[in-house]
Structure 1
């Protein structure tokens, strides 16, 4: 499977009073992302507060997301687990529910060796037929996988067929291209790197931005596809202040604050995460207004 374009990350809405998952709000936000011309939907990532959900909630959010998207675009389910056995359980559940791809990131308490990482992916891959996107994000996982290790897994483990890198290091993307003669599709997970990543040949941009910026990320991708670099730069620089702000402020907190202001009623992040302050929310809405005045 070759994914291209804007891979959108939904948040997981919670009810204000009970902090239970709000499936009606989830449906509304997923449909809004599809209206913003996203090319794939990736529930249960960092922005989806996957780390703060119970196993039952993870399954319910996965199932509801797949049902709502209903084959309109591919669904990529996020898996971030300390143990191989739990990652396998989620991978098998993803396949059973009808996901198209799983995005897997090993979460590290003890620092893992390259061999331990390799076997983590190898054992998950052996347990499912689903394509696997390797996800490298040391800021959230505590583990940094080298391009050489990722390429070794791409070449040695059949289901591994793409990589999302969120380090913000453009040299990583050049390395993926060089080490595989362009055969390994790579995806940018660092929002402020969107323009450079596309110029370096990224197949897609994995982003929460469409939640707040509507079709703007897609317009950037279309400009790149059309070879209109001047238009791509123009669109990128409109979005950049917001992209920087949501990364620095933390995705669940900032994206939920923006969605609530835009009328989506998605609740607060799960504790210990806190709501955005009034000052942060005002700043965020200023960036949204600035970006969407085209």
Structure 2
């Protein structure tokens, strides 16, 4: 397995749709990816929650994965979200991502029936056995219905060779502290909860997985750089400046708020796919006012 020393701002692009929402807008997807790379983001992560992966059929998923990897063209690492309800299709997606040049895949165990720890463990093990690239374990019970304990996460990372990174998105900073304790701080941790960015860096997170660079890349990057340099005062100032936006996009749903923000920035990425709805007029005005303070 190839090692991946991933650090910094891992940016999550939206998946743009045509005006009627019936097809993927590949040209705009390419534009958004170029924009994120040109802004200085350290990696691109298509097909996460921001990319509406759960709302794409397999043909569309393949199209977005292939187009994203081709567009990045090895300029920065790419981590493809391959999560699916079934282990079988997660493996199919993982193999597709690897075959098309992904540097790593991200796995969120999505559930309809409540999964046991044994089932979660085997889900990761079977995916890992099918590919030769690193896996980022993703814990986000708010979207997946599955909450993995720090003890289970540490066990999976310790025992499943390909699982080398953890994205923690519960919004509970104690999870990161517990993972650090359980692993003697050997597990590379990535923050997935935007409002916890400052605390996560202080807790030892080596990266921030976020959709915010679609709208405010310079502020996100400056916060990471200040945290990396140990400049707590500057990091705190930068964090509090962008916090209203980070709170807004989390509360309003990432595909909905990021697409609305892109429209305000002059980029038409379409609207979210139903049953998600576009941001209403009042909330769009509120988002515009927040963005105005950050320009």
TM-score range, shorter chain: over 0.9
Kindly report which structure 2 residues correspond to 1:102-121, keeping only aligned pairs within 5 A, or say none: 102-121=105-124
- Residues 171-218 of structure 1 deviation map (CA, whole Å, 9 limit, x = unaligned): 000111110111100100000000000011101000000001121100
Which of 136, 139, 143 lines up with 1:133 in the alignment?
136
**RMSD (CA atoms):** 0.8
Kindly report which structure 2 residues correspond to 1:1-294, keeping only aligned pairs within 5 A, or say none: 1-292=4-295
SS at match of 2:83: strand
For 1:48 and 1:26, locate their aligned partners in 2 and report how far apart those are by CA, in whole Å: 10
Deviation at 1:18, TM superposition (A): 4.8
> How many residue pairs get matched?
292
For 2:84 and 2:25, locate their aligned partners in 1 and report how far apart those are by CA, in whole Å: 24
- Is contact 2:21-2:271 (8 Å) kept? no
For 2:290 and 2:191, locate their aligned partners in 1 and report how far apart those are by CA, in whole Å: 22
Runs of 4+ in 1 over 6 A off after TM superposition: none
For 2:118 and 2:186, locate their aligned partners in 1 and report how far apart those are by CA, in whole Å: 23
For 2:184 and 2:61, locate their aligned partners in 1 and report how far apart those are by CA, in whole Å: 37
SS at match of 1:81: coil
Deviation at 1:19, TM superposition (A): 2.8
For 1:120 and 1:218, locate their aligned partners in 2 and report how far apart those are by CA, in whole Å: 34
For 1:204 and 1:289, locate their aligned partners in 2 and report how far apart those are by CA, in whole Å: 27
For 2:13 and 2:284, locate their aligned partners in 1 and report how far apart those are by CA, in whole Å: 19
Deviation at 1:290, TM superposition (A): 1.5
Q: Could you tell me the TM-score, scaled by structure 1's length? A: 0.98
Deviation at 1:289, TM superposition (A): 1.7
Q: Which runs of 5+ in 1 are unaligned?
A: none
